[in-house]
């Protein structure tokens, strides 16, 4: 009788221990919609068509990167399902696609969607739903607002910081410049223009002409003609790739010879400069934070070698001359880094917590010395640039690492 009681007691203890162990194991794993033991669902919108379709290669690069990670075993055994929809750079379509991703596809988060106006259209929705809108592919300063929009975070340096760098360069190198600005008439262009005026300060009158264009326009040629007519000797092109290439061509065609600046988001060698004609781009100044795969100085760089190996093996349709591919690769690498930081707690709150805890992370394609850093009060992961000038058939870096608040 005593033996039976003992065995029952032992069995009860063992059962209790088993239940506790299972509960503990379950407690170690936490999931929200879009995550499980086997899968992590990531949503994305991208302009695969429309006026900003040159950026479509960002989404294709990211898809290939996640596929490579899956082939290596995924994130702690979980495979990434990347669902990317075309929004044609139209805010209304972005709203429609974001709702589909969140409410029908049940993604854990939305990552690296392209565009300022497009992301602005879903920012409030994403925050109301408490779904991460992570590493937005736009340099608008508004993405760094953790107090009012704790579920939205940018990735690339912001437009105002980049504008400060150009303005301070002009003030130093050409203090009597007469500046003309062509800008996209939306949040992107206006954000950049504000940065320029803020940096020029009491010398904002140096801007003698401004021309805003709509993305629905087929050509910006007439705007370029007006800017030249204003007597400007310095030209800042705040444009997306299609219009950036048009501007470079038209400036050359009408024999206007200003000191030219081209925003970093359109400085792609293969996507903009080559189509515009190398001969038309000589001397253009831009800013950069990713390595140029066409630049031989990176041929022995370990990070660049990894990127080129990725293109060859995992993304053969990619183009090493297209800066969008290097951008997409680094953004996807940052996303994977955050998911690895999450461990087995794949809740949306923990994704944002880890995204806001990045320290000195250096994706393979970022320039040496430029790293990704965030905190609970700082949602601007990358803050630095280097200036570069187009010469011959490539961009040449000059000067040291700069940040917009320093400008030197």
pLDDT tens, position by position, 5-25:
545 655 556 565 655 544 444
Q: What is the pLDDT of residue 294?
A: 84
Same domain, 261 and 398: yes
Rg (CA), the chain: 24
Q: What is the pLDDT of residue 10?
A: 57
Provide the CATH number for the domain around residue 333. 3.40.50.2300
Task: Evaluate whether 303 touches 336 at the Cβ level (below 8 Å).
Answer: no
As a whole number, mean pLDDT of residues 253-265 equals 98
Same domain, 188 and 281: yes
How many angstroms from the chain centroid is the CA of residue 142?
A: 14
Q: Which residue has the higher pLDDT, 405 or 191?
A: 191
- DSSP 8-state secondary structure symbol assigned to residue 78: B
Q: What is the pLDDT of residue 4?
A: 46
Same domain, 175 and 277: yes
Same domain, 260 and 330: no
Same domain, 194 and 272: yes
For residue range 48-73, list pLDDT tens digits in order.
999 999 999 999 999 999 999 999 99
Q: Is the pLDDT of residue 343 over 50?
A: yes
Q: Is the pLDDT of residue 201 over 90?
A: yes
Same domain, 67 and 134: yes
As a whole number, mean pLDDT of residues 66-90 equals 98
Its domain, for residue 187, covers 159-288+387-403
- For helices 323-342 and 348-355, give the axis angle rounded to 10 degrees: 120
pLDDT above 90 as % of the chain? 90
Q: What is the pLDDT of residue 408?
A: 38
Residue-averaged pLDDT of the chain:
93
- The residues near 267 (Cβ < 8 Å, ≥ 6 apart) are 273, 286, 287, 288, 323, 388, 395
Encoded tokens for 171: 């003030």
Same domain, 223 and 354: no
* H-run or E-run covering 332: helix 323-342
Same domain, 280 and 318: no
Q: How far is the C-alpha of 310 from the C-alpha of 318, rounded, in Å? A: 9
Q: Is residue 44 part of a domain?
A: yes
Q: Is the pLDDT of residue 346 over 70?
A: yes
Q: What is the pLDDT of residue 211?
A: 98
Q: Which residue has the higher pLDDT, 293 or 49?
A: 49
Q: How far is the C-alpha of 195 from the C-alpha of 404, rounded, in Å? A: 10
Q: Evaluate the CA torsion angle 401, 292, 86, 130 in order and state its sign.
A: negative
Same domain, 210 and 308: no
Q: What is the pLDDT of residue 305?
A: 97
Q: How far is the C-alpha of 347 from the C-alpha of 354, rounded, in Å? A: 11
Q: How far is the C-alpha of 332 from the C-alpha of 163, rounded, in Å? A: 26
Q: How many domains are there within the chain?
A: 3
Nearest CA among 132, 90, 138 for reference residue 114: 138
Same domain, 220 and 350: no
Q: Is residue 66 part of a domain?
A: yes
Q: Is residue 182 part of a domain?
A: yes
Encoded tokens for 61: 């690069």
Q: Is residue 332 part of a domain?
A: yes
Q: How far is the C-alpha of 332 from the C-alpha of 2, rounded, in Å? A: 64
pTM for this one?
Answer: 0.87
Q: How far is the C-alpha of 219 from the C-alpha of 328, rounded, in Å? A: 28
- The residues near 331 (Cβ < 8 Å, ≥ 6 apart) are 58, 62, 111, 112, 135, 137, 155, 363
Q: What are the φ and ψ backbone dihedral angles of 87, each rounded to 5 degrees? A: -110, 0
As a whole number, mean pLDDT of residues 140-164 equals 96
Same domain, 268 and 165: yes
How many angstroms from the chain centroid is the CA of residue 404?
A: 17
Q: Is residue 356 part of a domain?
A: yes
Can you spell out the DSSP letters for 11-72?
A: HHHHHHHHHHHHHHHHHT-EE-TTB-SSEEEEEEEE-SSSTTGGGHHHHHHHHHHHHHHHHT
Same domain, 358 and 259: no
Q: Which residue has the higher pLDDT, 82 or 403?
A: 82
Q: What is the pLDDT of residue 9?
A: 59
Q: What is the pLDDT of residue 27?
A: 53
Q: Is residue 98 part of a domain?
A: yes
For residue range 210-248, list pLDDT tens digits in order.
999 999 999 999 999 999 999 999 999 999 999 999 999
Q: What is the pLDDT of residue 295?
A: 87
Task: Evaluate whether 207 touches 197 at the Cβ level (below 8 Å).
Answer: yes
Q: What is the pLDDT of residue 126?
A: 98
- DSSP 8-state secondary structure symbol assigned to residue 269: I
Q: Is residue 382 part of a domain?
A: no
Task: Evaluate whether 35 touches 346 at the Cβ level (below 8 Å).
Answer: yes
**Summary count for the chain: helices (H), strands (E):** 12, 14
Q: Is residue 408 part of a domain?
A: no
Encoded tokens for 312: 């060859």
């Amino acid at each position: 009788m005593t033996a039976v009681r003992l065995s029952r007691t032992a069995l009860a203890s063992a059962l209790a221990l088993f239940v506790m162990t299972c509960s503990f194991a379950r407690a170690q794993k936490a999931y929200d919609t879009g995550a499980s033991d086997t899968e992590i669902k990531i949503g994305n919108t991208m302009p695969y068509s429309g006026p900003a379709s040159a950026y479509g290669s960002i989404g294709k690069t990211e898809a290939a990167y996640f596929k490579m990670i899956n082939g290596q075993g995924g994130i702690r055994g979980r495979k990434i399902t990347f669902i990317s929809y075309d929004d044609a750079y139209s805010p209304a379509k972005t709203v429609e696609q974001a709702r589909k991703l969140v409410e029908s596809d049940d993604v854990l988060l939305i990552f690296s969607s392209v565009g300022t106006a497009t992301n602005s259209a879903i920012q409030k929705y994403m925050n109301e739903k408490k779904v991460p809108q992570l590493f937005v592919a736009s340099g608008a300063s508004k993405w760094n607002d953790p107090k009012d929009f704790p579920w939205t975070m940018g990735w690339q340096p912001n437009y105002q910081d980049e504008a400060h760098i150009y303005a301070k360069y002009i003030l130093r190198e050409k203090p009597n410049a007469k500046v003309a600005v062509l800008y996209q008439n939306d949040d992107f262009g206006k954000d950049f223009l504000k940065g320029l005026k803020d940096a020029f300060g009491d010398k904002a009158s140096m801007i003698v002409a401004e021309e805003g264009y709509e993305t629905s326009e087929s050509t910006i040629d007439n705007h370029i003609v007006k800017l030249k007519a204003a007597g400007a000797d310095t030209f800042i092109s705040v444009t997306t790739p299609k219009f950036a290439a048009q501007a470079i061509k038209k400036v050359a065609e009408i024999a206007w010879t200003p000191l030219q600046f081209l925003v970093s988001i359109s400085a792609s060698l293969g996507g903009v400069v080559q189509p515009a004609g190398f001969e038309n781009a000589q001397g253009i100044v831009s800013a950069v934070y990713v390595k140029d795969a066409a630049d031989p100085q990176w041929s022995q760089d370990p990070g660049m070698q990894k990127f080129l190996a990725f293109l060859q093996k995992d993304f053969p349709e990619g183009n090493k001359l297209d800066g969008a591919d290097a951008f997409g690769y680094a953004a996807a690498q940052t996303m994977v880094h955050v998911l690895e930081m999450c461990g087995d707690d794949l809740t949306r709150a923990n994704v944002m917590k880890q995204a806001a805890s990045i320290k000195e992370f250096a994706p393979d394609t970022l320039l040496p010395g430029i790293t990704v850093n965030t905190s609970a009060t700082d949602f601007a992961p990358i803050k630095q640039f280097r200036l570069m000038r187009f010469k011959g058939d490539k961009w040449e870096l000059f000067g040291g690492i700069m940040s917009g608040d320093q400008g030197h």
